[in-house]
Chains A and B, each alone.
Chain A
Amino acid sequence: MDPVKYRNLFLEEATEHLAEMSRALLELEKDPRAREAIDLVFRMVHSLKGMGASLGYDAVSELSHRLEDRLGAWRARGGIDGPDGLPLLFRGLESLERMVAAVRASGGPPPPDPELLAALDAAPEPVAGGAPEPRDPEGLAAKKALARAR
């Protein structure tokens, strides 16, 4: 892999993704249940996670992974809920923008803000009237099933 070529590809594509994410978050400000906007943000952070991991930008992939997990939970619940939901996503976006800017300027991202990671990790409040979903953050059940399938 030519690192310069792929760094440039990352910068180009990540910048586009963050701009799309920003537009989608503005839409979610108006309607926190806008499914297409949630799906788009989910796809953008998923893509950033893959690119970041491929280039060894662990901070990008780690923050993107946490955002993806949190968005997955919101998606399952039908929308961004709670007073902290959208501010958390905006903080995630700003943090990713700073990381991409740092890659452009100095070749590598700064470490993610531990407080932001912890806030993203916090389990969503249970759905009213329903039992909370069992936590399996490592996907252990699925990993075991996958190992059996192969």
Chain B
Amino acid sequence: MASRILVADDARFMRQLIREIIEPEGFEVVGEAADGRAVVEEFSRLQPDVVTMDIVMPKRSGIDAVKEILALDPTAKIVMVSALGQEALVMEALQAGAADYVVKPFKPDAVVATLRKVIEKEQ
């Protein structure tokens, strides 16, 4: 069965790009969220296997959303989507319990490998 992924990013461009990178590799994008509040709601509703989480989003930051999701479900798997210059924020997200991270601009192989690694770790 395909792993179910929730994609959170305030940019439609990035959500579409992640979807197009991972769907041909056998992942199912079950939902998208454009802000840090919506991703928590969508996580509760969809119960995905993995969330890809942008750090800079409106309403609530990706880091705050990580903390809220892990408070709801301590086994949740979250991969941070970061950009150059955000190393300190990624570190903060990992310390908050995020499983791993990928860096924009994406290397498609790295995105897929990171998701697989996080899912395999879960099993």
Contacts and interface: CB of A to CB of B under 8 A. Distances in A.
Interface size class of B (residues with CB under 8 A): 20 to 34
Contacts of A9: 12-13, 16
B91 A145 contact: yes
A97 B83 CA distance: 22
Given A1-B20, A49-B83, A149-B94, A54 B88 contact: no
Contacts of B10: 43, 47
Interface residues of A, number: 27
Contacts of A27: none
B101 to A, nearest CB: 8
Nearest to B106: A54
Main secondary structure of the interface of A (DSSP, over half): helix
Interface string A29-65: 0000000000110110011011101100000000001
B87 A10 contact: no
Contacts of A43: 10, 56-58
B13 A146 contact: no
Interface string A131-150: 00000000101110110011
Contacts of A54: 13-14, 17, 104-106
B113 interface: no
Contacts of A10: 13
Name the residue among B11, B20, B90, B104 with the largest chain A CB count within 10 angstroms: B11
Contacts of B14: 47, 50-51, 54
A142 B17 CA distance: 27
A145 B100 CA distance: 14
Nearest to B87: A142
B84 interface: yes
A142 B91 contact: yes
Interface of A: 1, 6, 9-10, 13, 39-40, 42-43, 46-47, 49-51, 53-54, 65, 68-69, 139, 141-143, 145-146, 149-150
Interface of B: 10-14, 16-17, 20, 56-58, 83-85, 87-88, 90-91, 94, 100, 104-106
Given A54-B106, A142-B88, 6 more contacts: A6-B17, A9-B16, A51-B14, A53-B83, A54-B104, A54-B105
